Amino acid sequence: MLDPYIPLVLLFALALGFALFSVAIAPIVGPRRYNKAKLDAYECGIEPSPQPVMGGGRMPVAYYLTAMLFILFDIEMVFLYPFAVSADALGMFGVVEIVLFIATVGFAYVYVWRRGGLDWN
């Protein structure tokens, strides 16, 4: 009864074994060239400060805003791909739905553009 699942379980076991082996062997065979630059903290091009953000002043959010906008508009592709694959099977209903989806994302894009979210200062 469970015979069809044996290859799947073996594949997961093989993937887990490979992941554990890779993590365990990396410190042994990997290069050991440490320097000061590799040990420094890096925060998206912002110089890290020892002061907490609360009392040390305002932290620029341009990097994080750009990343969030990229993720927001990149997710559109995730939803457009299944439509592209099955466009002929969906027919006119699929075309109307995808036009509504693109219009909604387009309105969001225009809103962000008009508010200055895409301007890099």
45: left (phi over 0), alpha (psi -120 to 50) or beta: left
Q: What is the pLDDT of residues 3-22, one digit of tens each?
A: 889 999 999 999 999 999 99
Q: What is the pLDDT of residues 39-76, one digit of tens each?
A: 776 666 666 666 655 555 556 677 778 888 888 888 88
Residues paired with 43 in a beta bridge: 46
Three-state SS at 43: strand
**Encoding tokens for residue 114?**
């008009």
Please say whether the beta carbons of 87 and 94 come within 8 A: yes
Distance CA 110, CA 98 (A): 18
